[in-house]
Amino acid sequence: MTSPSTSESDTASTSASPAALPEEKIGRLGIPYLFRYWQRKNAAGTGPSEVSGDRDLDCTLLAGLNLNVLETARFFNPIKRPSFEAFEDWIIATNGGAMDDAELARLRAALAGNTVGSAIGSLDGVEGLTSEELAFWDDKGYVVVHDAVEPAHRDEAAAAIYDFLHASPTNPNSWYGRKFGVSIWVPLLRHSAFLANRRSPRLIKAFSQLWGREDLWAIVDQGGLNPPERGDWKFPGPHVHWDATIAPPHRFGVQGILYLTDTPAEQGAFSCIPGFHRRLDEWLGMLPAGTDPRVAIRREPGFVPIAGKAGDLIIWHHLLPHGSSPNRGSLPRVAQYIALRSTRWEYTAEWA
């Protein structure tokens, strides 16, 4: 394990990458890319930085360090401009005071361009998506992976969300606390059950089948609690949207949600327009000039809720218009957002 007390900050130039700067620090975590990332983030707002970064590798870095994108962005306070040492201290502290050496080695290798396997070793023999499910994915742009995680971890994750909110599944008034008055997101990131779910073999196998590779990294995402609507609490969204750019060329990408409790269609289920990713180009081409596609998509028919059982993981293509839905049931929808991405992937930099 790497911890502040057992290792020292180390300054060295590196020849690992042609982009390496002479003053590059290896640091106590031993990740040259981390130093370059820190330089770029600290330089934000001060004019063009000399050091360029790759969006995919940035995501791999944060996922491999068990960090959430937003919390990391918040760390880079433009007034304080934290030192590299403070950044590494924060990473280690955020991980509970120590980092797993094997996981760091895997991350180092991947960022250096070496081939790495899955986070849990061989996926041979792990039950994956069937050919029918893969064909369904191709057609509809989403797939439901049943029993994606261990039931014990699933139930523990649901309980952790309620605990985090000081709420109880049996006390309806507790579902509407201030913390989620305007949102269905629950900013719980690293509960042990969340970590266990991200490392579920069946879940990793399904993502690896869709990516066609095993060097995947689980994004550190949050939980969700979508309570039934009532007079003083109306569903705040997310309504139908894309999180990805819809500028061409259109690239592959995935998102995912794990239902932690049974989720009938009317109980605030994840919703999408099945198959839309395949006709996105045509649809965009037919929009009248000056139309904002992100507004126009709200009028598109076919936005349907996807029901599921506790333990079902829905993975969707990131070009599928999607969102959540008002909960007209009697219990909250409880979920964990989970997605895995490969070390590198093709992306379109332009936002539209």
Ligand X SMILES: O=C(O)CCC(=O)C(=O)O
Q: Quote the CA–CA distance of 126 and 201 in Å, as a whole number.
A: 7
Nearest to 149 by CA among 310, 269, 271, 337: 310
Residue 141 binds ligand X, judged by CB under 6 A:
no
Consecutive H or E run containing 336: strand 333-337
CB of 38 to ligand X, least distance (A): 28
Considering only residues 232 through 291, tell me which ones interact with ligand X, judged by CB under 6 A: 238, 243, 255, 257, 270
Residue 327 binds ligand X, judged by CB under 6 A:
no
Name the one range near ligand X by CB under 6 A: 44-52, 109-117, 278-286, 318-326.
318-326
Residue 29 binds ligand X, judged by CB under 6 A:
no
**Alpha carbon of 164 to those of 46, 167, 184: distances in Å?**
38, 8, 13
Residue 224 binds ligand X, judged by CB under 6 A:
yes
Residue 70 binds ligand X, judged by CB under 6 A:
no
Total of residues contacting ligand X (CB under 6 A) = 10
Contact 270, 315 (CB under 8 A): no
Task: Give 90 or 176: the residue with its C-beta nearer to ligand X.
Answer: 176
Q: Give the one residue of 95, 267, 324, 342 binding ligand X; rule: CB under 6 A.
A: 324
Residue 140 binds ligand X, judged by CB under 6 A:
no
Q: Quote the CA–CA distance of 181 and 45 in Å, as a whole number.
A: 33
CB of 222 to ligand X, least distance (A): 10
Q: Give the one residue of 200, 337, 340, 341 binding ligand X; rule: CB under 6 A.
A: 337
CA 31 to chain centroid, in Å, comes to 22
Nearest to 96 by CA among 72, 120, 131, 65: 65
Phi-psi group of 171: left, alpha or beta (phi > 0 → left; psi -120 to 50 → alpha; rest → beta): beta
Instruction: Enumerate binding residues for ligand X (CB under 6 A).
Output: 224, 238, 243, 255, 257, 270, 322-324, 337
